[in-house]
Amino acid sequence: LVDLYNAIKQRGGVTHLRLCDTWFRTIQVLPERTHPEVSMIASGGYLLTAYTVEPKPGSVHELLQSGLVSSAFWHELDAPDES
């Protein structure tokens, strides 16, 4: 998952890229009292999340000049779909 995180970060075209560790804890619900159970599983897994973004038309040159995106990213977008 870390390799995927690094690949997405290097490719660009995303924002708010995050890799999070989650906890899994059950809640005990009884009449007149609710609380987390005493024991819990240390890890419930990992979440890799991001938002994909597209720049406004006409701003590609500005983004390339600023170094915020790489030219490899734009070549990937312009490549014909081979499926």
Q: What is the pLDDT of residues 15-58, one digit of tens each?
A: 899 988 887 778 889 898 888 887 777 777 889 999 988 766 65
Q: The pTM is what?
A: 0.47
Owning domain of residue 26 = 1-52
Q: Do both 31 and 64 map to the same domain?
A: no
**pLDDT attached to residue 12:** 81
CA gap 18, 5 in Å, rounded: 8
Whether residue 65 is predicted with pLDDT greater than 80 in this model: the reply is: no
Q: What is the mean pLDDT of residues 75-79?
A: 57
CA gap 9, 16 in Å, rounded: 10
Whether residue 63 is predicted with pLDDT greater than 80 in this model: the reply is: no
Q: Do both 67 and 45 map to the same domain?
A: no
**pLDDT attached to residue 21:** 83
Q: Do both 43 and 67 map to the same domain?
A: no
Q: Do both 9 and 41 map to the same domain?
A: yes
CA gap 65, 59 in Å, rounded: 10
Q: Do both 72 and 45 map to the same domain?
A: no
